[in-house]
Structure 1
Amino acid sequence: MKSVPPVSGLSRSAGLVAVGTFAVGLLLWVCGAFTFFSDHDAYPWYAKLVLLVAALVIQLSAQLRPAAAFAAMCVLLGLDAWWGPSLPLWIAMSDIVFLCAARGSPTVRRVVVATSGAVTLGLAVAGVVVGSVQVGILIGLVGIAFLLSPVTYAQSMIAARRAVEAEKAAAISQAEADRTAALADERRRLSRELHDTVAGHVSAIAILAEAARDAADPGPIVDSIRSNSLAGLAELRAMIDVLAADGDETTTVRWSSLDPLIAAADAVGSTVTVDGDPAGLPRRTEAVLTRIAGEALANATRHAPGNPVSVRVEVDVDHVRLTVSNRISATPRGAGRGSTNMAIRAASVGGRAEGGAVGRVWTVTATIPSRGDSRAGETP
């Protein structure tokens, strides 16, 4: 298991703490509080200066070698115990314990925690034996303050750091999942666009070409083939323009875009009757109605050529209802991608669409809000 990586800026702050501890030691020296017991200060001035410099060097080395610094400080405190003990050294030890617990390996942290606990307990017991219970308790509290409290603070800091890293990793993972979902949605949208812009016109062209081979006068059928080819190309160009644009423009179609599909149906004997017009409705609503009606017309021409087709648009205050019906020549094989696309188109503006057979008549119905839907959705 790797050690916890250092926090950015910890090396600089650790250096400042080491220098600050050195300055505090000088102040304690000036104030006569260099040792815990002012009546037991056996150090000459040069010895105190050596101790402060040694503590500074050990603290600075703890940034790179926390285990070696902890061991060196334990030796220094052991030597200081008889002539001191010196308060600046214990302050420096507190900082080294923190660095070991915060930046050391798991093994180093366990050794530091065990040693700090053992030293605290040993000093408390020694205080009770040499002095009294009160002395033992006070010494134990001092050990807790200088040795165990830094460990607790370091562990809290590590936990907070790991929580931040976990949140960051979760945010990155969520962003990647959102990106993947967005790409999948975009692929599905483009698939529906290609289906709607190409499949209907190409199917009509194939049916018309088949009919033109046996027609006595193929001229009108050829004209319809050309009309569907041009309409399909125009919609493909519009889609390419949207994909190449920098903005978020949406591809829309008008009700008049049904004319080539109506002409193709008429050319193979499927007379189309249109009753109603979504003129005056929002462009998005009109585009959805056109897409659904175009898919229904293409399916009727493909699967039931020669049978009349009825297209009815009814608009009231709140909703617009589209009904496309035609007689069927054989039992339908079930809903395909077109039926799914129609339902998705209607749902994109808060409506619904479905198709099915009633007797020998296949009917597609779509009901959507007549004033559109304000929700952000896919391109109709």
Structure 2
Amino acid sequence: MNSRTPPVRSVLDDEVEPVSRRPHRHDLLIAAVGLLGGLLLWLLGLRMQNGRLFEASWTGLVPLVPMAVAESMRRTRPGAALATATVLLAADQLTPGNIATVLMYTDVVYAAVVYGSEAAARRIPVISLLGSVALTLGLLPRLRPADAVLVGVLAGLVTFVPAVTGAGARGHRVAAEAARLRAEQTALLAEADRSQAVAEERSRMARELHDVVAGHLSAIALHSTAALSIDDPATSREALAVIRENSVAGLAEMRRLIGLLRRGGAPELPGAAPRLSALDALIEQSRGHAASSGLSCVLDDARDGGALPAPVELAAYRIVQESLTNALKHAAPGTVRVRLARPGALLTVEVTSVFGVRPGPRTPPGSGAGLIGMRERAELLGGTIRAGEERAADGSAVWRVRAELPVPEGTERGR
């Protein structure tokens, strides 16, 4: 059983050692039926045996009444009920006897195995069998062998058979409880898997939405800030043109994403998964957005030109896209360099920009969701990503984003 599955015994303990010690209503009913049946047999004058120590018929009622009391405790105090009932059964052998007393005793033995502790459930069948054999052997010197064997068989029917029956019933109860717990555990695991899948899908949607829209919104914020801070009609017209271009492009991306969500994100839809072949257009777009901020964008693709798996290309594209967006918002004037390489089974993506304070209008500070999204994309592929301030070869401060994405052998497109 799974280590997270609750132990079976913890559930059965509610029956072995219940909180309430009051007799169960079913046990009270069984005890009342046994007592009334014994009284009826006594009134009819039916007895089990003759020649006992106490010959008066009423003496058979002496073990009957407390046996009914023990029967009422069969579920709440099975151990005490069995010990009391055993003494009463022995006392019944000194009287004319009552079959109701014997029948209630067999039920107490059965209940002691079913509702008692695990140790008692293992021991009672063995003790009852050994007791029946010992009784038979002890009577052999006093009775004829056939009579001794008959007494031993009767003792086994009264003790061993109910104990074995109770053991079987307890085994079925344990198996049923274990099956129920496994079913509950399976349902819990299924719900956990469903919740995890929903959370992962939400994270994927959040990354995609941020990556495709953040760049356009950043450009809109930057140029609108410039238009508001610089009182120049030509600058305002240029900024409005860029704002319109990015708002239209952002709206188109939003419509595409909504369409993907409504259609279940079908991968065959056009433009659903950007490829690295589209980086030239992305770099060109970034150049237009960043020109007014003194930034220039350069692409250095040092790969061998081979096609990569779609998830790897999508992750690399989005990492470059988010890095360019961050450079547009925060980088100091200078060159933003994008470099791709593929040493062996790794695709490396590196984006560097000048680190420093940029003069002029700036966009509001980000929330850090972009860096989180890049890290998640890399980790989903088993890769790594680092982002932070470093020193370039000439000693200048740069902000470098470097991602290493594994490329599984034989998974390139077209193979």
Structure 2 counterpart of 1:106, from 72, 75, 87: 75
Q: How far does residue 74 in structure 1 lie from its aligned partner after superposition?
A: 6.4
The answer as to whether partners of 1:113 and 1:148 remain within 8 angstroms in 2 is: no
- 3-state SS in 1 of match to 2:333: coil
Aligned residue type for 1:343: R
The answer as to whether partners of 1:323 and 1:366 remain within 8 angstroms in 2 is: yes
1:301/1:113 CA distance change after superposition, 3 Å: same
Which residue pairs with 2:48 in the alignment?
81
Establish whether residue 368 from structure 1 lines up as the match of residue 405 from structure 2: yes
Which residue pairs with 2:254 in the alignment?
236
Structure 2 counterpart of 1:179, from 194, 201, 211: 194
Q: How far does residue 66 in structure 1 lie from its aligned partner after superposition?
A: 5.4
Which segment is superposed worse, 170-179 or 241-250? 241-250
- Structure 1: gaps (5+ residues): 5-61, 84-100, 375-380
Q: How far does residue 153 in structure 1 lie from its aligned partner after superposition?
A: 1.9
The answer as to whether partners of 1:273 and 1:310 remain within 8 angstroms in 2 is: yes
Which residue pairs with 1:166 in the alignment?
181
Which segment is superposed worse, 163-172 or 66-75? 66-75
1:354/1:145 CA distance change after superposition, 3 Å: same
The answer as to whether partners of 2:74 and 2:81 remain within 8 angstroms in 1 is: no
Number of residue pairs matched by the alignment: 297
1:247/1:293 CA distance change after superposition, 3 Å: closer
Which residue pairs with 1:261 in the alignment?
286
Aligned residue type for 2:176: R
Q: How far does residue 293 in structure 1 lie from its aligned partner after superposition?
A: 0.6
Instruction: Write the mapping of 1:1-380 to structure 2, written as runs, cut at 5 A.
Output: 79=46, 81-82=48-49, 106-107=75-76, 117=86, 132=143, 134-135=148-149, 137-213=152-228, 214=230, 216-246=234-264, 249=267, 251-255=272-276, 256=278, 258=282, 259-276=284-301, 280-330=307-357, 336-359=368-391, 360-370=397-407
2-structure distance, mates of 1:371, 1:161: 47
- 3-state SS in 2 of match to 1:355: strand
Q: How far does residue 201 in structure 1 lie from its aligned partner after superposition?
A: 1.9
- Structure 2: gaps (5+ residues): 1-12, 17-25, 51-70, 94-131, 359-364, 392-396
Provide Cα deviations, 1:228-287, integer angstroms capped at 9, x if missing partner: 223322322222122212466494223436243342123432111112287633332221
1:295/1:158 CA distance change after superposition, 3 Å: same
1:178/1:284 CA distance change after superposition, 3 Å: closer
Aligned residue type for 2:348: R
Which residue pairs with 1:30 in the alignment?
none
Which segment is superposed worse, 306-315 or 208-217? 208-217
2-structure distance, mates of 1:305, 1:108: 82
Which segment is superposed worse, 294-303 or 147-156? 147-156
TM-score by length of 2: 0.58
- 3-state SS in 1 of match to 2:186: helix
2-structure distance, mates of 1:164, 1:146: 27
1:114/1:75 CA distance change after superposition, 3 Å: farther
